[in-house]
């Protein structure tokens, strides 16, 4: 559509150069405030950014999605934008990652841009205002008709230093949100940013114990496990099999990457951040994500539902994930690099290029 071409050019050539000259986290905070301030102008946002077509509707694990393009966890981590993202074109929005207790974030810098590599350095460490405060905020928003998810992680605090304590921490957050009607689905983030933790939930035994505790809550909404990126297909199969034993059918492929030797990095850019802590989003995540999606779909078929996440910058990237076997697609970095019109733009292409093949 012509409007998306205009929006793309305006963002890339006029706005992005200015935005990218300012500290990443500062810009994020400014846009969060602006976005929340615009939530009463839904009609205007939709007219500018959104693309709606019934042919894009999808039902996954009993949840209705107006379109298959969602905002991943890690952008709207305290729920300020929960009532806005639908109106700029996203079919669903994940709030979080939310933790039981508040954490102000790791030491700065917590965000950095690798422009040529089309990636972000991320070192927030589950920055969160805490489950109760986030829930109180969401309670006040108009979320009827929105498809809103909650990503749950363990609090990044020195006192949460054992697997059992971390599990209890997860359970507090799930209990906080499990009966709230506006929650459409949950995500289980099994990353462990807490340096006090010597074990990980990506090991089979620990994941089993965590999923067992979560499923004993009898959640009414589906659960998606956010899978690690840099694992083998066989390791991924083991984790999925653990989830399936407890009737967990949703999986997200995948999380951030750690390997600074990833072939998608431009050497001169990665050298500049070698002394900084953090993992990476964007294009360096795409290959692992797509391989795990394709393998998991082939291995488990319709027994699982898959959200593809990582390296989505345009419709072609989204279509690639759908062809690999994803039911839905998430992004963050693509919006930061391409602009807030990205979801509407992708959907306008999906309805022409792919929807009649995949969704018919």
pLDDT in the model for residue 357: 46
In the predicted model, what is the mean pLDDT of residues 303-312?
97
pLDDT at residue 321 greater than cutoff 70:
yes
Range of the domain at 106: 2-358
In this predicted model, what pLDDT tens digit does every residue of 196-248 receive, in sequence order? 677 789 999 999 999 999 999 999 999 999 999 999 999 999 999 999 999 99
Tell me the C-alpha to C-alpha distance, in Å, between residue 261 and each of 117, 270, 340: 12, 9, 30
Band the pLDDT of 355: cuts 50, 70, 90. low
Q: Which two tokens stand for residue 16?
A: 């992005």
pTM of structure: 0.93
- Number of folded domains in the chain? 1
pLDDT in the model for residue 325: 96
pLDDT in the model for residue 309: 97
d(CA 78, CA 97): 8
In this predicted model, what pLDDT tens digit does every residue of 15-68 receive, in sequence order? 999 999 999 999 999 999 998 988 889 899 999 999 999 999 999 999 999 999
pLDDT in the model for residue 360: 37
Band the pLDDT of 193: cuts 50, 70, 90. low
**pLDDT averaged over the chain?**
92
d(CA 149, CA 184): 6
pLDDT at residue 192 greater than cutoff 80:
no
Positive or negative, the CA dihedral 187, 76, 341, 144 is: positive
Band the pLDDT of 281: cuts 50, 70, 90. very high
* DSSP state, residue 86: G
In this predicted model, what pLDDT tens digit does every residue of 94-109 receive, in sequence order? 998 999 999 988 888 8
Closest to 352 in 3D by CA, of 307, 316, 323, 328? 316
CATH at 134: 3.20.20.70
In this predicted model, what pLDDT tens digit does every residue of 245-277 receive, in sequence order? 999 999 999 999 999 999 999 999 999 998 888
């Amino acid at each position: 559509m012509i409007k998306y071409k205009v929006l793309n050019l305006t963002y890339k050539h006029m706005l992005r150069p200015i935005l990218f000259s300012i500290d990443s986290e500062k810009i994020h905070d400014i846009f969060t405030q602006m976005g929340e301030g615009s939530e009463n102008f839904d009609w205007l946002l939709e007219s500018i950014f959104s693309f709606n077509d019934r042919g894009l509707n999808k039902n996954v694990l009993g949840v209705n999605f107006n379109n298959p393009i969602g905002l991943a966890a890690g952008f709207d981590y305290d729920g300020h934008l929960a009532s806005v993202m639908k109106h700029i074109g996203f079919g669903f929005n994940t709030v979080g990652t939310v933790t039981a207790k508040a954490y102000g974030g790791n030491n700065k810098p917590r965000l950095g841009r690798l422009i040529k590599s089309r990636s972000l350095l991320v070192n927030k460490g589950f920055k969160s205002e805490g489950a109760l405060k986030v829930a109180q905020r969401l309670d006040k928003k108009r979320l009827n008709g929105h498809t809103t998810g909650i990503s749950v992680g363990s609090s990044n605090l020195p006192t949460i230093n054992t697997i059992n304590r971390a599990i209890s921490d997860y359970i507090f957050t799930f209990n906080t949100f499990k009966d709230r009607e506006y929650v459409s689905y949950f995500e289980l983030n099994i990353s462990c940013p807490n340096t006090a933790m010597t074990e990980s939930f990506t090991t089979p035994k620990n994941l089993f114990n965590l999923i067992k505790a979560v499923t004993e809550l009898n959640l009414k909404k589906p659960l998606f496990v956010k899978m690690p990126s840099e694992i083998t297909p066989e390791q991924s199969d083991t984790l999925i099999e653990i989830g399936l034993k407890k009737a967990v059918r949703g999986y997200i492929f995948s999380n951030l990457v750690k390997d600074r030797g990833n072939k998608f990095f431009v050497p001169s850019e990665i050298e500049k951040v070698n002394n900084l802590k953090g993992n990476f989003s964007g294009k360096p995540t795409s290959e692992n994500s797509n391989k795990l999606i394709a393998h998991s779909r082939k291995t488990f078929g319709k027994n699982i539902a898959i959200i593809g996440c990582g390296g989505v910058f345009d419709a072609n990237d989204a279509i690639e994930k759908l062809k690999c076997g994803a039911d839905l697609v998430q992004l963050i970095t693509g919006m930061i690099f391409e602009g807030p019109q990205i979801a509407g733009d992708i959907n306008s292409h999906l309805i022409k290029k792919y929807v009649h093949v995949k969704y018919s």
